[in-house]
Structure 1
Amino acid sequence: MQAAQTTVDPAEVAKFEAMAAEWWDPKGKFKPLHMLNPCRLDYITRQIAGEYDRDLTAQKPFKGLRLLDIGCGGGLLSEPMARLGATVVGADAAEGNLPVARIHAEQSGLEIDYRHTTAEALAAAGEQFDVVLNMEVVEHVADPQAYLTACQQLLKPGGLHICSTINRNSKSFAVAIVGAEFIMRWLPKGTHEWHKFITPDELFALIRGAGLDPVDRKGFVFNPISWQWSLSDRDLSVNYVTASLKRG
């Protein structure tokens, strides 16, 4: 059988492997994700609950759902999804992230299937999921259209795809690169490349091109006074998230 093609960018993988040991340090190189995580989880859980008619006040509301966290890193999203009852596969092209993720899950008493693999390889193997989380990954791949097509193939009919990324404009350059990498030093310099950022309209077009139906998009907005993130219906100028469905 022919090996699955990959959209992995080796240079991007190397960046995150170099930071792997710091995934669970809320004051380390992944501080921005730790700060953003409550807002991300609010959006993700509401979308899943709405699509699958689940009660978020139940003990294990996502029980029976199979979920893929593609580009899982150290497991910042995989772990809460497992706690909510989902059967979770966490996949990452950066092999160095996975020992950190596995150890932390074990220490937390969680069973998560972490794999060093790609979306394309999982699709070629015929894997199927109710939900695919694709958070802050698409701006790091070599071919966003091929990558999103692989994510679509991984979904069961009626499945939910949640994808977040960074808009491409002068504000995102100032905030996500100059501010986050050079002024606040939240991230190592070179973590992001502005030309790889994707506008919301471009992402919706890519999602449709992959065979998915976009149904929602929201902005993640940081308030420097309260030092917190919130969801916005209107402000998608920097960080934003989308939800789409695989019809059929």
Structure 2
Amino acid sequence: MAVDTVDPAEVAKFEAMAAEWWDPNGKFKPLHMLNPCRLDYICAQVAAEFGRDLAGPAPFEGLRILDIGCGGGLLSEPMARLGAEVTGADAAARNIPVAQAHARQSGLAIDYRHTTAEDLAAAGERFDVVLNMEVVEHVADPQAYLVACQELLKPGGLMVCSTLNRTAKSFAMAILGAEWVMRWLPKGTHDWAKFITPDELYALIGKAGLRPVDRKGMVFNPVAWRWSLSERDLSCNYVTASVKRPEF
């Protein structure tokens, strides 16, 4: 029997903000700012794992990609434009019509569903790539959730997972800075105690049946006012790539 890892309180936070997903100056401004950095990493990892040429017209054609915690579709839409068959899933029901409406306006065919990783896995759904971005710190049981993500991958499939490190810097930036000072996010959006260190995440990923192959920091430069990838600085936001082990 699958474990239900959805945290209703966390879902309620994001349902309350659903209408603002595509407002670059709204409550999801931090994600809009972070998105180019996330996309750079995702595209590089998918291209490397599946031997795709990003200079081609539809480099991800033939790949089935799942965007867990898709929200309004900030990652689903670029993946569809790159040629992938995209499914976007979210436990917050109000996010789905927002994502569907924006996809229609953009002329994109994306399969958006109000569902969970566990329910998709139980239904036998399988994907080449699972995007698991800024979700693991919001679930009730990270280990069970990552097991469900592993089950959703085809053999040799790729999971890209990002989250927040549990450091003084992450508390200062994600909670004090983004929620209290800049007021980009409502107070209480993040719970610092649920942040996960890179070593903890690697251990959870390995135990779930995935083999970690890469991790990088995502670092904000307040002078250039942009995010970039870092080989060394994983002190706040970071992203990992892992592959499904053959025996699972």
TM-score, normalization: structure 1? 0.98
1:188 match: secondary structure: coil
- Tell me how many residue pairs correspond in the alignment: 246
Give 5+ residue unaligned stretches, structure 1.
none
Distance 2:228 2:150 in 1: 28
Please point out which of 113, 122, 125 is paired with 1:124.
Answer: 122
TM-superposed CA distance for 1:247, in Å, is: 2.3
Q: CA RMSD in A?
A: 0.7
- Please name the residue that 2:94 is paired with: 96
Asked whether the 8 Å contact 1:5–1:121 carries over to 2, the reply is no
Kindly report which structure 2 residues correspond to 1:1-248, keeping only aligned pairs within 5 A, or say none.
Answer: 4-248=2-246
1:219 match: secondary structure: strand
Percent of counterpart pairs with the same letter? 79
Q: Which runs of 4+ in 1 moved over 4 A?
A: none
1:207 counterpart letter in structure 2: I
Give 5+ residue unaligned stretches, structure 2.
none
Distance 1:228 1:27 in 2: 15
TM-superposed CA distance for 1:5, in Å, is: 3.4
Asked whether the 8 Å contact 2:3–2:144 carries over to 1, the reply is no
2:156 counterpart letter in structure 1: G
1:78 counterpart letter in structure 2: S
1:94 match: secondary structure: coil
1:44 counterpart letter in structure 2: I
Distance 2:96 2:123 in 1: 20
Task: Please say which of residues 171-180 and 102-111 is displaced more in the overlay.
Answer: 171-180
Distance 1:174 1:92 in 2: 28
1:47 match: secondary structure: helix
1:118-153 Cα offsets, whole Å, 9 max, x none, are 000000001000000000000000000000000000
1:146-173 Cα offsets, whole Å, 9 max, x none, are 0000000000000000000000011111
Asked whether the 8 Å contact 1:89–1:112 carries over to 2, the reply is yes
Distance 1:13 1:175 in 2: 22
1:20 counterpart letter in structure 2: A
